[in-house]
Structure 1
Amino acid sequence: MPKAYAYTRNGGPETEAFIERDRQRPGPGQLLVAVRAAGVNPVDWKLRQGLRRPGSPEPELPAVFGSEVAGVVAELGPGVTGFAVGDAVFGNPVGGGYAEYALLPVTVAARIPRGLAFTDAATLPVAGATAYDALRQLDLPAGAALLVTGAGGGVGVAAAQLARAFGVRVVGTASESKKEFVESLGAVHVSSAAEGLAERVRAAAPDGVDAVLDLVGGEVLETVAALVEDRTKLLSAADPVGVPRLGGSPVRRARTAAVLDEVARLVTSGALRPFVTRTFPLERAPEALRAVEDGHVRGKVVIEVAA
């Protein structure tokens, strides 16, 4: 039976386990995909802990980890057109992606362009598309200054590159160990240490910042919110509950195949590099998740699934 990595109840790593599940059958509007790569994101362990957006349904347990995959179409659901068995695709699965097989709704699935590796494509449905959606929501003009907190992580790396491609100046907070990495993205690095954070940002951007994209939440969000006058330009992908209290908004996710196509185009054009810095086989999914949960990884972590 196909294998998957799941959590069996809310809590810490002790709730995680490999499980076997029947090979799924795609329903109307779905593709069954033989997974080749699955992106690892902070949302994975946050869901395990029981953190969800307001109004989100309780998951059915055991719940398989993973919300972005790339792979090969193995079966089409009833009435599905526009795809064929054998197509290389990527997108946002329902029912998890740390698995040998996953279900993709066609509304959030796109073909992988020629020359784009499965491991790179698997970083785009969450990290790449979240960054793209955030920048479109901010709608900054060329020359504007954007502060990105957590600029060394998956979404931050994508946001910094895309902002630069759109002509926006970027100041990025990250640990001192990620200074060279953040600067290689074309951003001005600011140490993410809590004490004196606002003062360091003001020193890095003496004319102020026009917008903030928060990828950390909590105390960091509280601190950087004061740096932007127009709170419509304060977005958070990390703290959708806290940011409205500060006058800002959560990142509005489009979740469409059109966005996936555009993000993939930006990769193939050279405007966006996925920066997959670590890969793990499915058998080592716990290590992959710990690497992201520990908060020290640069770029993206991806789980690779053998064909």
Structure 2
Amino acid sequence: MKAAAFATFGGPDVIRLIEAPEPQAGPGQVRVRVKAAGVQHYDCAVRGGWTPAYGLTVRLPQIPGNEFAGIVDQVGEGVTAFAVGSEVLGFNLLNSYAEYVVVHPDQIVHKPAAMTWEEAGGLTGNGQGAHIALKAIGIEPGDTVLINGAAGSLGSFAVQLAKEWGAKTVIGTASLRNHDYVRSLGAVPLTYEEGLAARIRAIAPDGVQAAFDTAGGEGLQAAVELVLDRNRVCTFFAYDRIEELGLRIVRGERSAARLAELADLYAQGKLHIEIREVFPLDRSADAHRLIETRHGRGKIVLKID
């Protein structure tokens, strides 16, 4: 099968299109013919030599990619929830930048009929990441919530979930060119410049109850300054400042149940998935270059025919 992989650690240029052995579904597994795979900063970090704390083993040449969507084409013994031909989206730690991926049934859910392959390929990682973060900080009806980096894929999911879960006001920081988009998601947009905390106070004189940071900088400083309970501030960006700022490390596991909830919100028309750019598999390196600029809005996806 065709796959994008890296044989050495390094920058985006180490990712090359290769021929790899086709994986086969064993008992209790399914094989998915991948139609689209999302690109995440996680993938770039692994490509650069980072190994997650939970003991992921990287074997060179390594196929990156931890979210995908496609069509089930093999069903192992004992699997009853999916059949050959099922359209699904799912998650994996690695190996999704490929024509086929083998996973367990608890890593996939059925794709909503109206969801495009590109949308399905880009939901799993950042959608579940936003869900995990907002559950950790405890969004409650009537809250005012700050989302720092609201135009990115992770931030835009967080804005929508905060609104869905009852936040009265969501304030989203973003570059000026993305303010209309952030506003369309239901948030009040603000730029990142100095004096952000004062501008947030003007919008929310009764205070900010919770904050999720995806961009660091002035937005994170404002979150720490404005939110009284540090347990209700979470960063998925400035990990090196967590101890200094007195924040807690937020971890959570992706699950089929969590993913199914997000897919259902999409099916109800309550969750928008913004696609920033779609690359063919042989341009995976370009996709990595783009995501590492940390600018723009929405999700970067690989299309695999």
Q: TM-score, normalised by structure 1?
A: 0.90
Q: CA deviation at 1:157?
A: 0.8
Structure 2 Cα separation of the partners of residues 271 and 234 of structure 1:
25
Q: CA deviation at 1:258?
A: 1.0
Residue of structure 1 in register with 2:99 after alignment: 100
Residue of structure 2 in register with 1:270 after alignment: 269
- Deviations, residues 126-153 of structure 1 (Å, cap 9, x unaligned): 1112112222222222110111111111
% same residue: 39
Q: CA deviation at 1:232?
A: 1.1
Structure 2 Cα separation of the partners of residues 55 and 111 of structure 1:
28
Q: Is residue 35–residue 102 contact of structure 1 (8 Å, CA) maintained in 2?
A: yes
Q: Is residue 139–residue 166 contact of structure 2 (8 Å, CA) maintained in 1?
A: no
Q: What amino acid is aligned across from residue 283 of structure 1 in structure 2?
A: D
Structure 1 Cα separation of the partners of residues 102 and 218 of structure 2:
37
Q: Summarize the Cα distance change of 1:86–1:77 in structure 2 as closer, same or farther, 3 Å threshold.
A: same
Structure 2 Cα separation of the partners of residues 242 and 7 of structure 1:
30
Q: Is residue 4–residue 15 contact of structure 2 (8 Å, CA) maintained in 1?
A: yes
Q: CA deviation at 1:58?
A: 4.3
Structure 2 Cα separation of the partners of residues 260 and 241 of structure 1:
29
- Confirm or deny that 1:160 pairs with 2:159: yes
Q: CA deviation at 1:184?
A: 1.5
Q: Is residue 221–residue 243 contact of structure 1 (8 Å, CA) maintained in 2?
A: no
Q: CA deviation at 1:261?
A: 0.9
Q: CA deviation at 1:178?
A: 1.3
Residue of structure 1 in register with 2:173 after alignment: 173
- Deviations, residues 104-128 of structure 1 (Å, cap 9, x unaligned): 2222211112222221111221111
Q: What amino acid is aligned across from residue 137 of structure 1 in structure 2?
A: A
- Deviations, residues 20-75 of structure 1 (Å, cap 9, x unaligned): 11001224433211000111122221222234443443422222121110000121
Structure 2 Cα separation of the partners of residues 41 and 94 of structure 1:
11
Structure 1 Cα separation of the partners of residues 200 and 6 of structure 2:
39
Q: Summarize the Cα distance change of 1:126–1:207 in structure 2 as closer, same or farther, 3 Å threshold.
A: same
Structure 2 Cα separation of the partners of residues 53 and 200 of structure 1:
37
- Deviations, residues 225-282 of structure 1 (Å, cap 9, x unaligned): 2321101101122344542543323443231111111100000111101112322222
Q: Is residue 69–residue 90 contact of structure 1 (8 Å, CA) maintained in 2?
A: yes
Residue of structure 1 in register with 2:125 after alignment: 126
Residue of structure 2 in register with 1:188 after alignment: 188
Q: Summarize the Cα distance change of 1:139–1:181 in structure 2 as closer, same or farther, 3 Å threshold.
A: same
Q: Summarize the Cα distance change of 1:115–1:281 in structure 2 as closer, same or farther, 3 Å threshold.
A: same
Q: TM-score, normalised by structure 2?
A: 0.91
Q: Mean Cα displacement is larger for which, 283-292 or 195-204?
A: 195-204
Q: Is residue 173–residue 219 contact of structure 2 (8 Å, CA) maintained in 1?
A: no
Q: Summarize the Cα distance change of 1:49–1:30 in structure 2 as closer, same or farther, 3 Å threshold.
A: same
Residue of structure 1 in register with 2:298 after alignment: 299
Residue of structure 2 in register with 1:136 after alignment: 135
Structure 1 residue runs without a partner (length 5+)? none
Q: CA deviation at 1:12?
A: 1.4
Q: What amino acid is aligned across from residue 180 of structure 2 in structure 1?
A: E
Structure 2 residue runs without a partner (length 5+)? none
Q: Summarize the Cα distance change of 1:234–1:27 in structure 2 as closer, same or farther, 3 Å threshold.
A: farther
Alignment root-mean-square deviation, CA:
2.1
Q: Secondary structure at the match of 2:220?
A: helix
Q: Mean Cα displacement is larger for which, 143-152 or 218-227?
A: 218-227
Q: Is residue 285–residue 303 contact of structure 1 (8 Å, CA) maintained in 2?
A: yes
Structure 2 Cα separation of the partners of residues 153 and 41 of structure 1:
11
Structure 2 Cα separation of the partners of residues 52 and 210 of structure 1:
34
Q: What amino acid is aligned across from residue 292 of structure 1 in structure 2?
A: I
